[in-house]
Structure 1
Amino acid sequence: MAGADSRVVIVGVDDSVHSYHALETALDLFFVPFKSNPQFKLVIIHARPTASSILGFAGPGAVDVMPMVEQDLKKTADWVLKKCNEICSNKSIEITASEVTEGDPRNIMVDASEKHHASVIVLGSHGYGAVKRVFLGSVSDYLAHHAHCSVMIVKKHKTPAAAAAAKN
């Protein structure tokens, strides 16, 4: 999808402050406001979990709850894209494409990078410790090893108060 005169920056977003910070950082580093022929194209990717992955093995009653979970996941995805549009609009940057895809974020991001011929994938670091990474997995670690383009992991700087609270 990227032409010879532009490269593609994919930003992976979820409903966390970490991903919005990563989006803002990508905009500040790669894009110039009001430029009519930007050097980069911006693609926003939101990997939406499946309702069954949220419910797990909840038993027969889960069938009754499934439509409500689906509706909530759709609302969350709509909210995420709306927030991304607001962030980009405030910085006068146009989103080339945005996608919501259901499934594992690791696979979705790798597939999106290949589909859009990405130059770089940008995503936020949740700052999970080793134990949480074992159970939740690390999307950024997976992408660093499996994506066919550069991966930029953006960490949110801690304020001195937050750093002191984390030590306690």
Structure 2
Amino acid sequence: MEGEPTRIMMGVNESTIKGYPHPSISSRGAFEWTLQKIVRSNTSGFKLLFLHVQVPDEDGFDDMDSIYASPEDFKDMKNRDRARGAHLLEYFVTRCHEIGIPCEAWIKRGDAKEELCHEVKRVQPDFLVVGSRGLGPFQRVFVGTVSEFCAKHAECPVLTIKRRADEAPQDPVDD
């Protein structure tokens, strides 16, 4: 008797150094590692659940002067954010379809660590996979670490995949 597929939720984000719409080094690495080490050739035994959390800019205008904002500026910003998120998720969904792994993907807006834990509680995956940028202790204080927060607070097992040393940019904050 065949059981339900193992549901793996993955938190994914876009690259800060390669630009839109490429996945971050950490997200892509965690995804590829999951395919190679967990899924392997058992594509029907797994379902991947991709969550991209868009972190709003402090004033929402990505370095634009919000004092001159019009209603049309807000509409354009929302459309741009939707398109960026859809393009990012398209990478993962397309790869899954190419190799025959069932998947779902969606976007939330807010603080990445909080939204990941909230969605884990709502969706109840078997486990969560997140990439890690490998920040040092000083950088962690200022940048924060989503993977550590999720490991402590998510209501499922959390697997943190480190970036390979040869993939790390000069500044680990970049991804």
TM-score where L is the length of structure 2: 0.75
Indicate how the Cα distance of structure 1 residues 139 and 34 shifts in structure 2: closer, same or farther if over 3 A, else same.
closer
CA distance in 1, matches of 2:42, 2:9: 20
Q: Structure 2: which amino acid aligns with 1:12?
A: G
* Alignment-derived partner of residue 5 in structure 1: 4
Residue 27 (structure 1) aligns with:
35
2:85 is aligned to: 77
Q: Distance in 2 between matches of 1:88 and 1:19?
A: 14
Q: Which amino acid aligns with 2:154?
A: A
Map residues 82-97 of structure 1 onto 2, 5 A cutoff.
82-95=90-103, 97=104
CA RMSD of aligned residues (A): 2.9
In the alignment, the residues of structure 1 paired with residue 113 and residue 141 of structure 2 have an alpha-carbon distance, to the nearest angstrom, of 15
Distance in 1 of aligned mates of 2:143 and 2:30: 20
Q: Which runs of 5+ in 1 are unaligned?
A: none
Give the paired residue count.
Answer: 159
Aligned to 1:104: 111
User: Partners of 1:152 and 1:130 in 2: how far apart?
Assistant: 20
Q: Distance in 2 between matches of 1:136 and 1:68?
A: 28
- Residues 20 and 35 (structure 1 numbering): CA distance in 2 closer, same or farther, change over 3 Å? closer
Q: 2:153 aligns with which of 146, 152, 156?
A: 146
One-letter code aligned to 1:147: A
- State the 1:128 CA deviation: 2.5
Report the Cα distance in structure 1 between the residues aligned to 2:59 and 2:117, rounded to whole angstroms. Answer: 20
Report % sequence identity.
23
Which digits, 9 at most, give the CA deviation of each residue in 1:18-63, with x for residues without a partner? 1011111112233244744x1x321111101225554489552245
Contact 1:8 1:116 in 2 (8 A): no
Does the 8 Å CA contact 1:7/1:41 hold for their aligned counterparts? yes
Change (3 A) 1:117 1:61: same
Establish whether residue 42 from structure 1 lines up as the match of residue 48 from structure 2. Answer: yes
Structure 1 pair 125–94 and aligned structure 2 pair: CA distance change class (3 A): same
Residue type at the aligned position of 2:93: N
Report the Cα offset of residue 118 of structure 1.
1.8
TM-score after normalising by structure 1? 0.78
Structure 1 residue 138: deviation in Å?
0.9
The counterpart of 1:132, out of the listed 125, 139, 158, is 139
CA separation of 1:90 and 1:21: change in aligned 2, threshold 3 A: farther
Matched, 1:14 2:20: no
Q: Which amino acid aligns with 2:143?
A: L
CA–CA distance in 2 between the matches of 1:59 and 1:35?
A: 47
